[in-house]
Amino acid sequence: MLRRLLLVLVPLILLLGAALGVPLGNAVAERETQTTYLDRLADVSRFATLAETALTSGRTEALQDELSRYDQLYGIPVALVQPGGKVLFASRQRPDLTDPAVAAGLTAAFSGYRPSPPEAVMPWVPAPLVVVEPVGRDSEVVAAVVAVSPTDRLRADILSQWGWRALLGILPLLAVIAAAWPISRWILRPIRRLDEATAAIAGGLVDTHVDDVSGPPELRRLSTSFNTMVDVVNTAMRRQRDFVADASHQLRNPLASLRLAVDNLEHHLPPGESAREAHHVAVEEAQEMGNVLDALLAATRLDAAAETVDLALLVSVHLPKWQALGVAVETDVPEGQRVPVSYGSVLDELVANAARLSGGTTVRVFFVDGELHVADNGVGLTESDRALALGRFWRSPQHQNVSGTGLGLSICADLVAAAGGTLRLDPATPGLDVVITPRVPPSVTPKPATKQN
């Protein structure tokens, strides 16, 4: 973000410098051109006065000498031209009367007007500076003095002044650009820390706060509000967990008492199959209520998705429980791979489903190519069943007589999704492969896998 901000600020600063520098450079060129023009105009006006006197008195030697010395001293060709283009007197170098600028100036002078001042001379335009002054006024113009002044020195002076002003202008621009770096860092530091904190929270460190709050007041208030939000959310999550635990404890005892009371009624049943059948249904309903309670309580534990644990440690803790299910359980997971704590409940449900419903003899829990697999060698599910199996309360036709709520896989999918991952059902040869793709923090680098049986 800092580089992107500087990529915006630095061109804007340079454009601002150019917006100020271009008019200033044009003003310098106009001023130098005007100064040179007025100097040449004064000389040409003097020659026009001398020419008018010489033409009136017939003494032209002084005028010719003045023109020659002027050309010799300054290298500027000067000529006295009559209407029609005839040159009466000229310096050693004669002006080129065919030049468009000279022709336009003579036309204006012979009409009784002094030509307009020239436009600003630019260093890259080598055109000479043409100055024309009429001899006489209005309809009494008898000649015109033409001076064609080279602009090499003028252009060099303009370019030199541009260079000095550019150098003096670049220094403050560089200072501003240099100041933009620490100022941008100071402004963006709270944003960067907020980004790091949110990434840490998304990775499972739910108690992360933004420390050492600095920067502009608005961003300091934002950081403080973020810390307050984290505290409020953690408090809400803690209260939710407490509620789940209390609800579980408070409801389990009445359900256990109900189940015990229903069981004790067996010895007090009246004779007859209908009474025993009703008692059997009551026992099953009480057991089903317990299963539904367990499933619904598991569905409310989605907040645990944010907390992470090492996958190898999680599997090692749950492995004895899985091995007691009556099937062979093989594990192959890496150390250092962090997964949400809720994956413990997910793996318990998936391994229990495989042991209870698949009809297979082996369940494999392994991690490969960034994905966690729970695969069995049982009968599996058809393609149409796999498309429906993640819905709530769905039961496979072949498992209608097996106890269950139909909530297990859907709750597992919800837990995985709440942690930023995905769960899908793939066919295995034979059996079913439940594939979990967790969201792994970028900084996590798993160690080589360790195998357990």
User: Letter for the amino acid at 206?
Assistant: V
Count of CB atoms situated within 10 Å of the CB of 22: 10
In a domain, 64, yes or no: yes
Give the pLDDT of residue 444. 40
- Residues 150 and 67 both lie in one domain: yes
Q: What are phi and psi of 310, to 5 degrees?
A: -70, 130
Spatial separation of the C-alpha atoms in residues 327 and 320, rounded to whole Å: 12
Beta strand pairing status for 328-334 and 129-135?
unpaired
Please state whether 85 falls in left (phi above 0), alpha (psi between -120 and 50) or beta: left
Of 129-133, 353-357, 392-396, the one with minimum mean pLDDT is 392-396
Spatial separation of the C-alpha atoms in residues 311 and 338, rounded to whole Å: 6
Handedness of CA 396, 400, 401, 404 (dihedral sign): positive
198-222 tens-digit pLDDT: 887 776 677 788 876 677 777 778 8
- Residues 281 and 393 both lie in one domain: no
Spatial separation of the C-alpha atoms in residues 345 and 191, rounded to whole Å: 36
Spatial separation of the C-alpha atoms in residues 52 and 140, rounded to whole Å: 11
Beta-carbon contacts of residue 330 (< 8 Å; ≥ 6 apart): 362, 363, 364, 365, 366, 451, 452, 453
Cβ atoms 342, 314 nearer than 8 A: no
Cβ atoms 262, 279 nearer than 8 A: yes
- Assign residue 116 the CATH number of its domain: 3.30.450.20
Residue 90, beta-bridge partner list? 79
Give the pLDDT of residue 292. 65
Residue 334, beta-bridge partner list? 449
Give the pLDDT of residue 6. 65
**Confidence band, pLDDT 50/70/90 cuts, at residue 245:** low
Determine the average pLDDT of the residues in 273-300: 70
In a domain, 227, yes or no: yes
Spatial separation of the C-alpha atoms in residues 32 and 35, rounded to whole Å: 5
Query: Alpha helix locations (H) across 79-136?
Result: 100-110
Compute, in degrees rounded to 10, the torsion defined by CA atoms 229, 231, 233, 236.
-140
Higher pLDDT, 436 or 405: 436
371-414 tens-digit pLDDT: 999 999 888 888 888 888 887 777 765 655 555 566 778 888 88
- Residues 375 and 282 both lie in one domain: no
- Return the structure tokens found at 394: 């769905």
Give the pLDDT of residue 443. 42
- Residues 427 and 346 both lie in one domain: yes
Question: Is the pLDDT score of 248 beyond 70?
Answer: no
- Residues 29 and 132 both lie in one domain: yes
Domain boundary pick from 157, 187, 214: 157
CA angle 328, 330, 335 (to 5 degrees): 155
- Residues 325 and 419 both lie in one domain: yes
220-229 tens-digit pLDDT: 788 888 888 8
Beta-carbon contacts of residue 274 (< 8 Å; ≥ 6 apart): none
- Return the structure tokens found at 202: 């998304």
Give the pLDDT of residue 59. 84
In a domain, 8, yes or no: no
Spatial separation of the C-alpha atoms in residues 81 and 246, rounded to whole Å: 115
Give the pLDDT of residue 367. 93
- Residues 255 and 385 both lie in one domain: no
Edge-to-edge strand order for the sheet containing 129-135?
87-90, 78-81, 143-149, 129-135
Domain of residue 104, residue span = 13-157
Beta-carbon contacts of residue 415 (< 8 Å; ≥ 6 apart): 298, 301, 302, 304, 305, 340, 342, 343, 345, 346
Handedness of CA 78, 84, 86, 89 (dihedral sign): negative
Cβ atoms 440, 382 nearer than 8 A: no
**Confidence band, pLDDT 50/70/90 cuts, at residue 296:** low
In a domain, 367, yes or no: yes
Secondary structure letter of residue 300 according to DSSP: T
In a domain, 234, yes or no: yes
11-35 tens-digit pLDDT: 777 777 777 778 888 888 899 989 9
Domain boundary pick from 122, 157, 192: 157
Higher pLDDT, 1 or 186: 186
In a domain, 70, yes or no: yes
**Confidence band, pLDDT 50/70/90 cuts, at residue 440:** low
Mean residue pLDDT across the chain:
80
Q: How far from 296 is each of 90, 259, 293, 306, CA to CA, in Å?
A: 113, 19, 5, 19
Spatial separation of the C-alpha atoms in residues 156 and 164, rounded to whole Å: 12
In a domain, 374, yes or no: yes
Give the pLDDT of residue 375. 92
Give the pLDDT of residue 297. 62
- Residues 208 and 231 both lie in one domain: yes
- Return the structure tokens found at 137: 């006024």
Domain boundary pick from 128, 157, 186: 157
Give the pLDDT of residue 450. 46
- Assign residue 331 the CATH number of its domain: 3.30.565.10
Spatial separation of the C-alpha atoms in residues 337 and 284, rounded to whole Å: 41
Compute, in degrees rounded to 10, the torsion defined by CA atoms 60, 64, 70, 75.
150
Determine the average pLDDT of the residues in 230-255: 76
Q: Is the model's pTM score more than 0.75? A: no
**Confidence band, pLDDT 50/70/90 cuts, at residue 65:** confident
Q: Name the domain count of the chain.
A: 3
What percent of the chain is modeled with pLDDT above 90? 8
74-106 tens-digit pLDDT: 888 999 888 888 888 888 888 888 888 888 888
Cβ atoms 94, 79 nearer than 8 A: yes
- Residues 60 and 105 both lie in one domain: yes
